[in-house]
Chains A and B, each alone.
Chain A
Amino acid sequence: MKITSKIYPIIILCLSAISFVACEKVIELDLKNTEPKLVIEANFTDSLQIQTVNIGQTVSFKSDNKMTPVSNAQVSLKSDNGLALSFVEIAPGFYATNKAVKGIAGIKYTLTVTVNNQTYTAISQMPSPVKIDSLKQTSIVIFGKTNKFIQVVYNDEPGVPNYYNNRFYVNKIKRNDSFVEFDRFNDGKRVENTLFNQEPDLKTGDKVKVELLGIDVNVYRYLFAIAQINGAGGPPTSPADPDSNFSNGALGYFSSTAISVDSVIVK
C-alpha cells in the first residue's frame, strides 16, 4: 500500500514540470524552545543478546541531533512469567542487561524507569516471530529513470493482526526511511513488500541488510504517527507528538520486538 503515499510527490512533480516553479528553500525560523522532555527508547528482542535501553532528554531545534543523556536512572524489566531483570548504566544515558537474555512470544513485558523520583512504565507483548524468507530485487521505471528496490518476502501469520517495522541498512549505514507495515491487506499471505527507499538510490554492488521487526499495535501506531508527521500521505494536518506507551508523559516507546535479519548484494 506504500505506493499510495507516493502520490503526492508525483503530483507535485508533475505540476512543477508544468509550471517550472515549485521550489524549496532553507529558511531561518525563530522557534520557541520548551522545557526538556524525557525520552525513553527500549527494544526488548527475542534474540539472545545484551538488551539495552536509551534514556535522554529533548534538545532545542538548533542543537545537534543528539539527546542529552539522562544518567542515574533505575531501569528494570519484569514479565508475567516471572522474569525480573535490572539494567545498569554502561555509558551516559545508555543502560544494558548484565547478561544475554531473550524475550518469548506471547509474554507481556513491563519496563519501569525511575528518574528523579518519577516513575515511567510501559507494557509490551512479544509478537510471534516472523522470519524473512528472502530478499528480492525489483526494478521500477519512473519518469524514464530505472530505480532498483529491495523486496522483503515473508509469510504473514494468518488470523491475527501483525505489525512490522523494517530497518534498512545500505553498506552498513542505517537509512532513515520509515517502513512500518500492518497486515490489514495481506493477512496470512506470502508478502512481497517493496521497500521504496529515498535517495541515494541503490546501485550495483551495494550491500543491503534488512531487519524485519515484529512489533505490537501500540508501537506500530507510534511509529506510523511519526511517518505521518514526516509527510507520508501529503502535508499532515497538524503534527502532534505520537502517543507513547509510557505512563506519565514520557516520549519514546518500549517495544517487545521479534527480529529477523537477512542481507543481499544489489545486482
Chain B
Amino acid sequence: MAIKPHLLHRNIITALICFFTITTTVFAQKNHTLNGTIKDVTTGETLIGASVKVSGTKQTATATNAYGFYSLNLPEGAYKIEISYVGYQSLVKQIEVNDNVKLDIDLLVSNELAEVIVSEVKRNNNVSNAQMGVEKLNVKDIQNVPVLFGERDILKTLQLLPGIKSAGEGNSGFYVRGGATDQNLILLDEAPVYNASHLLGFFSTFNSDAIKDVTVYKGGMPAQYGGRLSSVLDIKMNDGNKKKYTVEGGLGLISSRLKVEGPFKKDKSSFIISGRRTYADAFLALSPDSSIKNNTLYFYDLNAKANYKIDDKNVVYLSGYFGRDKLGLAKTFGFGWGNATATLRWNHLFSNRLFSNTSLIYSNYDYTIENLLSGNEFRVNSSIRDFNIKQDFQYALNNQHELKFGIDAIQHTIAPGKLTTTSLSINPLTIQNRKGYEVAAYVSDEYKVTDNINIVFGTRLSTFSLMGGGIFKTYDVNGKVTAEKNYASNEVVKTYINLEPRLSSSFLIDETKSIKTSYTRNTQNLHLMSNSTATSPTDLYIMNSNNTKPEIADQVALGYFNNFKNDVYEFSAEVYYKTMQNQIEYRNGTDLRGNANVEADLIYGKGRAYGLELFVKKKYGDFNGWIGYTLSKTERQFDQINRGNWFVARQDRTHDISVVGIYKVNKRWTLSSTFVYSTGNAVTFPAGKYVIDGQTVFYYGDRNANRVPDYHRLDFSATLDGKPNRKLKSSWNFSIYNVYNRQNPFAINFRDNPDNKAQTQAVRTTLFGIIPSVTWNFKF
C-alpha cells in the first residue's frame, strides 16, 4: 500500500489551496476575530470542548480546543454569545463586533439541586458537529459510577459506552469496534502510554484525581492523531488550581490517594501533584513469618503538572507521569514494571486567528524480572522508549474554514530483552535493540458549507523507517530465513509511507436532528505480541520491518443523531464497517521469552468488523445516565489458521448492553447503578481428546467455534457527601460490585478429574463474585 503516495498527496494539497483561495475570495468581507479562553471560575482550570454559540448578524458555533481556547471569524455586527459546558451554568453575553475581540469567560459549576436548566441555550453540539464516533467523559460525571474495589477508573467506565468492550473481567484493556487492545492509541497529555494497566490489568494507570478530560475516538479520527488502528483515547491531566491551594485525598480498601494543587502565582501559574499507592502488601508485613513478611505486591502512580502563563499570547505546561508495579517473593523472584512520561508544551498565539502548540514528549515503558533462586540467579530487562516532537497549528481562516495542520516526529527504541546473570549455569544474552522513526504531517479543514452542512476533511501522511544497525533477517512464509543482511547504525533498513485520508460530514435536518458520515484510514507501525488473553507486563512490542508491514484499517460509518426534550436527551445510532490488513498472529508453540527471531514465528492475515451502536443518554437533571447497545461482528482470516477460513475473533461480542443510572437523592446522597450484559467470548473448546506421553491432550479443531456463558453483572454505589459549608469537605463512597454474585467466567479450563483420573472435567474460574468496598474521600 506504500506506492507513490507523494504524488497523490501533492495533488490533494494543490486542490486544498485552490479551494481555500476560491472560498476566501467569495466570502471576503469585513471580518473580525472573536477569541478567548474558557475556564472554571473557582479553580481556573481551562475547559476542553466547551460550546460557544453565536447568533445575530451571523449564526455560527465552535468549541474550545484542548487548551480551552476558541476562535471565530465574524462579520461586523451585534451578537449574542452563548457559552455552555456540561456540569456548568451556561452563560449568555451580548457583544458588539466592530474590531477583533478577546473574550475570556469563566463558568460556574452548576449548583446541584438548585440548578434549573437554562432552557434558552442550545446544547446541541453533538448533533451539529461533523465529528462522529466520538465519546467524551467528563471526570466529574463519572465520579459516582460504581467500580471494582471502589477504585475509580476511567478505562473501566469507558467500557460502559457502546462500541468499547472490556478485554476481560476486571480488565482495563479494551477493544474498540473489533480492534485489539494494542490498537488503541492511549495518550496522557499527548504522551503515548504503552502499558495502561497495573496488576495485570485489574487497575488502569490513570489516577482519576489527576485527570480533567477524556475523549475517545472510535472512528472518524481527526487527522492530527495517528499511529494506531482502532481508536484514540486522549486523556488530559488537570492543570492545577490557579486560585487557591487545595488538598484532596481518599482512603480505600486497596489504595490511598492524595492530591495537592494550587497557584504559584495567582491566575498566572499553578501546579498539581497527585499520587496513589496500593497497600495489599502492608497486610503481609504484619505476619511474623519472614517468608511472608518479605514478599512485596504493590503499585504506585505519581502525576505532576505545572503551567505558567507568560503573557496573553504564551503559556507553557510541563507534565509528567511515573508509575510502577512491584511484585516479589522473598528470595525467589522479583518483578517490576512501569511507565514514565513527560510532556513539555508551549501554546503560542501568533495572531487572533493562528494558534500554535509545540510539544516535546518522552515516554518509556520497561520491565525487570529477577530470579533470585540460588544457582539460577538472573535478571531480564526490556524497554520501549519514545522521543517525540510535535508542532500543531490551528488557523481560523474565515467564518467557514478552520484549518488544523502540523507535523509529528517520533523516535522509537525497543530493547526486546537483556539478560544478565551471576549464575554459572546461565549465559548472558542481549537481543539487538531496534530503532525506528515515525514522521507524519497532517492537514485538515473544518468547513461549514452551509448552515446545515459541516465537513471535516483532511489527510495524514505517515512514514515509518526502520533503522540499523545489526543483522536483519528475511523469512519466508514457513519462517525459514531467506536472506540476512548487516546494516550499519542509522542506515535505513526499510521505509513505509502511507496516506491516510480522513473525512467526516454532518447534515443538519433541523436544530435537533442530523445525519453524519465518515471515512477514515488509520495505520499502525508498532505491534504488540501477546501470549495470553490477559494483559501481561511482559508482552512484547515489535516494529514494522522487512517482514512485518504496517497494519492498515479502513472504516466507513453512518450515523443518525437526535436530541430531544430540549437537548436533555441525546440519542445516536451509528453503523460502521471496518477492514483491517496485515494483522499479526504467531505460530503454535512460539516462545516469546528471550526470542531474538520472533518474526520467524509470525503469520499475517486480515480482519473485518461491522456493527450497529445505539446510545441514549440523559445529560441533565437529578437523574441522569445512559443506555448503550451494540450489535456487532468481528472476524479474522489467516491462511495458516482454521484452514484459511474466516473465524470469529476474540474481540467479537454479538450483543453488548450497558445501563448506567445516577440519581441525586438530595444534597448529600447520590445513588448510582450500572448493569452490563454481553455475549460470552468466542473461545476454542476441546472437540475431543487423546493421550500423549501419558498426559491427556485435547483436540481442538475450529478456532473460536465456542462461546463462554454470557456475561452480566449489576453494580451499585452510594455516595454520602459531608455537611456542606465546612472547611473540610468529605464524602463516603459505598459500593457493591456484582450485586447478585453472578459467577462470570474469567477462564474455563479443561483437566483430568482429580478424583477420577480416567475422566476429564471443565472448570470455570471466577475472579470476582460479590465485592463490597468503602472509600473515604476528603478535600480542604
**Hey, which bits of chain A sit against chain B, CB under 8 A?**
1, 3-4, 6-8, 10-12, 14-19, 21-29, 31-34, 36-37, 39, 41, 56-61, 63-67, 138, 140-144, 151, 165, 167, 174, 176, 178, 182, 184-192, 194, 221-226, 228-229, 231, 233-243, 251-253
Interface string of B445-473 (1 = CB under 8 A from A): 00000000000000000000000000000
Which of B696, B698, B770 counts the most chain A CB atoms within 10 A?
B698
Could you pull out 5 A-B pairs where Cβ atoms are within 8 angstroms?
A3-B371, A7-B327, A144-B291, A189-B424, A238-B704
Residues of B within 8 A of A26 (CB): 761-764
Residues of A within 8 A of B696 (CB): 65, 176
Our pick among B295, B376, B693 for the contact of A143 (Cβ within 8 Å) is B295
Bound CA span A176–B704, Å = 27
Residues of A within 8 A of B594 (CB): 1, 184-185
Cβ–Cβ contact A240 & B699, under 8 A:
no
A3 in contact with B531 given A21-B767, A28-B762 (CB within 8 Å) = no
| Chain B nearest CB, measured from A64 CB (Å) | 5
| Chain A nearest CB, measured from B168 CB (Å) | 9
| Chain B nearest CB, measured from A141 CB (Å) | 4
Residues of B within 8 A of A223 (CB): 693
Residues of A within 8 A of B295 (CB): 143
Bound CA span A239–B688, Å = 13
Across the A-B interface, the 4 shortest Cβ-Cβ residue pairs: A225-B589, A234-B532, A221-B589, A58-B688
Residues of A within 8 A of B202 (CB): 15
Cβ–Cβ contact A25 & B686, under 8 A:
no
Cβ–Cβ contact B376 & A67, under 8 A:
no
A239 in contact with B763 given A189-B426, A228-B589 (CB within 8 Å) = no
A228 in contact with B689 given A140-B332, A238-B684, A239-B698 (CB within 8 Å) = no
Bound CA span A267–B694, Å = 27
| Chain B nearest CB, measured from A83 CB (Å) | 25
Interface of A (DSSP majority class): mixed
Chain B minimum-CB-distance residue to A31: B685
Cβ–Cβ contact B531 & A233, under 8 A:
yes
Cβ–Cβ contact B690 & A56, under 8 A:
yes
B427 sits at the interface (CB 8 A)? yes
B683 sits at the interface (CB 8 A)? yes
Residues of B within 8 A of A28 (CB): 762
B111 sits at the interface (CB 8 A)? no
A237 in contact with B692 given A19-B771, A21-B767, A226-B697 (CB within 8 Å) = no
B333 sits at the interface (CB 8 A)? yes
Residues of A within 8 A of B102 (CB): none
Cβ–Cβ contact B589 & A242, under 8 A:
yes
Cβ–Cβ contact A241 & B297, under 8 A:
no
A24 in contact with B589 given A31-B687, A144-B289, A234-B532 (CB within 8 Å) = no
Our pick among B419, B588, B589 for the contact of A185 (Cβ within 8 Å) is B419
Residues of A within 8 A of B360 (CB): none
Residues of B within 8 A of A165 (CB): 693
Bound CA span A226–B693, Å = 11
Chain A minimum-CB-distance residue to B761: A26
Which B residues from 168 to 216 make CB contacts under 8 A with A? Answer: 199-200, 202
Residues of A within 8 A of B768 (CB): 19, 21-22
Chain B minimum-CB-distance residue to A251: B690
A61 in contact with B291 given A140-B373, A186-B427, A238-B704 (CB within 8 Å) = no
Total A-B residue contacts, Cβ distance less than 8 Å: 248
Our pick among B287, B373, B690, B766 for the contact of A59 (Cβ within 8 Å) is B690
Chain A minimum-CB-distance residue to B254: A18
Cβ–Cβ contact B426 & A21, under 8 A:
no
A176 in contact with B695 given A3-B333, A185-B426, A234-B531 (CB within 8 Å) = yes
Bound CA span A179–B408, Å = 48
Cβ–Cβ contact B425 & A191, under 8 A:
yes
Our pick among B297, B378, B701, B749 for the contact of A34 (Cβ within 8 Å) is B701
Cβ–Cβ contact B332 & A41, under 8 A:
no
B485 sits at the interface (CB 8 A)? no
Cβ–Cβ contact B532 & A233, under 8 A:
yes
Chain B minimum-CB-distance residue to A217: B589
Residues of A within 8 A of B280 (CB): 14, 17-18
Residues of A within 8 A of B691 (CB): 39, 41, 56, 65-67
B141 sits at the interface (CB 8 A)? no
A65 in contact with B759 given A143-B295, A178-B695 (CB within 8 Å) = yes
Bound CA span A1–B427, Å = 12
| Chain B nearest CB, measured from A82 CB (Å) | 29
- 19 further contact pairs, Cβ within 8 A, besides A23-B765, A234-B536: A37-B688, A41-B692, A61-B689, A66-B691, A138-B375, A141-B330, A141-B331, A142-B291, A144-B292, A167-B693, A178-B695, A182-B591, A185-B594, A192-B376, A194-B373, A233-B531, A233-B532, A235-B747, A240-B684
Residues of B within 8 A of A237 (CB): 530-533, 650
Cβ–Cβ contact A236 & B533, under 8 A:
yes
| Chain A nearest CB, measured from B680 CB (Å) | 11
| Chain B nearest CB, measured from A94 CB (Å) | 12
Interface string of B730-771 (1 = CB under 8 A from A): 000000000000010011111010000111111111111111
B369 sits at the interface (CB 8 A)? yes
Cβ–Cβ contact B752 & A65, under 8 A:
yes
Cβ–Cβ contact B425 & A190, under 8 A:
yes
| Chain B nearest CB, measured from A132 CB (Å) | 14
Cβ–Cβ contact B538 & A4, under 8 A:
yes
B434 sits at the interface (CB 8 A)? no
Bound CA span A3–B706, Å = 32
B700 sits at the interface (CB 8 A)? yes
Our pick among B333, B752, B762 for the contact of A176 (Cβ within 8 Å) is B752
Cβ–Cβ contact B425 & A189, under 8 A:
yes
Cβ–Cβ contact B699 & A65, under 8 A:
no
| Chain A nearest CB, measured from B425 CB (Å) | 5
B329 sits at the interface (CB 8 A)? yes
A61 in contact with B760 given A34-B687, A221-B589 (CB within 8 Å) = yes
Cβ–Cβ contact A142 & B329, under 8 A:
yes
| Chain A nearest CB, measured from B618 CB (Å) | 33
A32 in contact with B589 given A59-B688, A142-B329 (CB within 8 Å) = no
B575 sits at the interface (CB 8 A)? no
Chain A minimum-CB-distance residue to B749: A231
Residues of A within 8 A of B748 (CB): 27, 29
Bound CA span A29–B687, Å = 11
Bound CA span A235–B167, Å = 13
| Chain A nearest CB, measured from B589 CB (Å) | 3
Bound CA span A252–B697, Å = 10
Which of A141, A151, A191 counts the most chain B CB atoms within 10 A?
A141
B335 sits at the interface (CB 8 A)? yes
| Chain B nearest CB, measured from A18 CB (Å) | 5
Residues of B within 8 A of A243 (CB): 587-589
Our pick among B200, B686, B689, B706 for the contact of A11 (Cβ within 8 Å) is B200
A186 in contact with B425 given A235-B533, A236-B533 (CB within 8 Å) = yes
Residues of A within 8 A of B650 (CB): 237-238
| Chain B nearest CB, measured from A170 CB (Å) | 13
Residues of A within 8 A of B200 (CB): 8, 11
Residues of B within 8 A of A251 (CB): 690, 699
Which of A23, A182, A190, A231 counts the most chain B CB atoms within 10 A?
A23
Bound CA span A241–B750, Å = 15
Residues of A within 8 A of B686 (CB): 31, 61
Bound CA span A39–B696, Å = 12
Interface string of B588-613 (1 = CB under 8 A from A): 11010111000000000000000000
Bound CA span A7–B530, Å = 15
Residues of B within 8 A of A242 (CB): 588-589
Residues of B within 8 A of A221 (CB): 588-589
Which B residues from 18 to 59 make CB contacts under 8 A with A? Answer: none
Bound CA span A242–B297, Å = 35
Bound CA span A31–B769, Å = 26
| Chain B nearest CB, measured from A93 CB (Å) | 11
B641 sits at the interface (CB 8 A)? yes
Cβ–Cβ contact A236 & B531, under 8 A:
yes
Bound CA span A130–B370, Å = 28
